[in-house]
Chains A and B, each alone.
Chain A
Amino acid sequence: MSKPLQIIGLSADYGELRAVRSVDLHLETGAIGCLLGPSGCGKTTLLRTVSGFVTASEGSVIIGERLVSGDHVHVPPEERKVGMVFQDFALFPHLNVRSNIAFGLRQLHADQQRDVVDEMLSLTGMSSNAQAMPHELSGGQQQRVALARALAPEPALLLLDEPFSGLDASLREQLAREVRDLLKERHVTALMVTHDQHEAMAIADQVTLMQGGSIEQTATPYELYHCPATEFAASFIGGGNFIHLRTDDHGNATGELSMLALPAGLPANAHLKLLIRPDDVRADTAGELSLPVRHRAFQGAQVLYELALPDGQLVICAAPSHTDASTGPELMWSLDLRHLVHFPVSPPT
Chain B
Amino acid sequence: MALGSLLTSHSRTAPSQTGGWRWPLLLTAAVIAMPVMVIVGSLLLPYSESWGHLLETVVPRYVATSLWLMAGVGLGTFVIGVGAAWLTTAYEFPGRRMLSWALLLPMAMPAYIIAYTYTGMLDFSGPVQSGLRDWFGWGYGDYYFPQIRSLGGAICMLSLVLYPYVYLLTRVAFMEQSATILEAGRSLGRTPRQTFFAVALPMARPAIVAGVSLALMETLADFGTVDYFGVSAFTAGIFRTWYGLGELTTAAQLCAMLLVFILVLVTLERASRSRMRFHYRSARRAAPLRLSGWQGAGASIALSLVMTAGFLLPALQLLEWSLDRWRAIFDSAFLSLVYNSFMLATLASVCCLLVALLLGYGKRLSPGLMESATVRVASMGYAVPGMVIAVGVLIPFAWLDNRVDALFRAWFDNSTGLILSGTMAALLFAYVVRFLSVSLQSVESGLARIGPELDESARTLGANPTQTLRRVHLPMLRGSLLTALLLVFVDVLKELPATLILRPFDVNTLAVRAYELASDERLADAALPALAIVIIGLAPVILLVRGILSGEPNRE
Give the interface of A toward B (CB within 8 A): 51-53, 76-84, 86-88, 90-95, 103-104, 106-107, 133, 135, 149-150, 153, 159
- Please give, as numbers and ranges, the residues of chain B lying within 8 Å of A51 by CB-CB distance: 183, 187
Per-position binary interface string of chain B over residues 271-282, scored 1 when its CB falls under 8 Å from any chain A CB and 0 otherwise: 000000011101
Q: Does B191 contact A (CB under 8 A)?
A: yes
Chain B interface size, as a band, is 20 to 34
- On whether A93 and B191 interact (CB within 8 A), knowing A77-B183, A87-B180, the answer reads no
Can you report 11 residue pairs joining A to B where beta carbons are below 8 Å apart?
A79-B189, A83-B187, A88-B180, A90-B183, A90-B184, A92-B181, A93-B278, A103-B185, A103-B188, A103-B198, A104-B189
Instruction: Report if B202 contacts A (CB, 8 A).
Output: yes
Interface members, chain B 165-207 (any A CB < 8 Å): 178, 180-181, 183-191, 194, 198-199, 202-203, 205
Bound-state CA distance A325–B92 (Å) is: 68
Decide: B178 and A90 in contact? CB cutoff 8 A: yes
Instruction: Decide if B187 touches A84 in the complex (CB within 8 Å).
Output: yes
Contacts of A149 in B (CB 8 A): 184, 188
Cα distance A150–B282 when bound, in Å? Answer: 20
Q: Contact check, A106 vs B278: say whether CB atoms are below 8 A apart.
A: no
Knowing A53-B186, A153-B189, say if A135 contacts B180 (CB, 8 Å): no
Q: Restricting to B374-401, which residues have a CB under 8 Å from any CB of A? A: none
Contact in complex: A82, B187 (CB < 8 Å): yes
State which of A78, A92, A94 has its C-beta within 8 Å of the C-beta of B191. A78
Check B278 against A133 for contact (C-beta < 8 Å).
Answer: yes
Question: Which 8 residue pairs of A and B lie closest in terms of their CB atoms, listed nearest first?
Answer: A104-B188, A90-B180, A84-B187, A77-B186, A90-B184, A86-B180, A94-B202, A90-B181
Q: Separation in Å of the A166 CB from the closest CB of chain B?
A: 11
- B residues neighboring A (CB under 8 Å): 178, 180-181, 183-191, 194, 198-199, 202-203, 205, 278-280, 282
The CA of A192 and the CA of B187, in the complex, are separated in Å by 15
CB-CB under 8 A from A95, the residues of chain B are 202
Chain B hits for A78, CB < 8 A: 186-191, 194
Q: A104 contacts which chain B residues (CB < 8 A)? A: 188-189
A88 to B180, CA, bound (A): 8
Nearest Cβ in chain A — how far from B325, in angstroms? 54
Checking A79, A93, A103 against B203 with a beta-carbon cut-off of 8 angstroms, the contacting residue is: A93
Task: Write the nearest CB–CB distance from B12 to chain A, whole angstroms.
Answer: 44
Cβ–Cβ contact A92 & B180, under 8 A: no
User: Nearest-CB distance from B100 to chain A (Å)?
Assistant: 23
The answer to whether B205 and A94 have CB atoms under 8 Å apart is yes
For residue A102, give the distance in angstroms from its CB to the closest CB of chain B: 10
CB-CB under 8 A from A77, the residues of chain B are 183, 186-187
Given A94-B202, A94-B203, A103-B198, residue A88 in contact with residue B189 (CB < 8 A)? no
B187 touches A88 (CB 8 A): no
Docked Cα-Cα span, A222 to B279, in Å, equals: 43
* Pairwise interchain contact A106-B189, C-beta atoms closer than 8 A: yes
Chain B: CB-nearest residue to A103: B188
Report the bound CA distance from A79 to B191 in whole Å: 9
Contacts of B178 in A (CB 8 A): 88, 90
Having A78-B186, A88-B178, A94-B279, one finds 19 other A-B pairs with CB under 8 Å, namely: A76-B186, A76-B191, A77-B183, A79-B189, A80-B187, A82-B187, A88-B282, A91-B181, A92-B181, A92-B184, A92-B185, A92-B199, A93-B181, A94-B202, A104-B188, A133-B278, A149-B188, A150-B187, A159-B187
Q: Which residues of A contact B185 (CB under 8 A)?
A: 92, 103
A107 to B198, CA, bound (A): 15
For A51, A90, A103, A133, the residue with the greatest tally of chain B CB atoms inside 10 Å of its CB is A90
Q: Give complex CA distance A76, B178 in Å.
A: 19
| B180 / chain A contacts, CB cutoff of 8 Å | 86-88, 90
Chain A positions within 8 Å of B190 at CB level: 78
The one of B183, B198, B205, B280 in contact with A84, judged by C-beta atoms closer than 8 angstroms, is B183
Centre residue among A52, A94, A159 by max chain B CB count within 10 A: A94
Q: How long is the Cα–Cα vector from A53 to B195 in the complex, in angstroms?
A: 14
Closest A residue to B205 by CB, please name it: A94
Q: How far is the CB of A181 from chain B (nearest CB, A)?
A: 23
B203 and A92 within 8 A (CB): yes
Residues on B with beta carbons closer than 8 Å to the beta carbon of A159: 187
Q: Which residue of A lies closest to B182 (CB)?
A: A90
Complexed CA–CA distance, A107 and B194 (Å)? 14
Q: Closest Cβ of chain A: how far from B379's Cβ, in Å?
A: 28
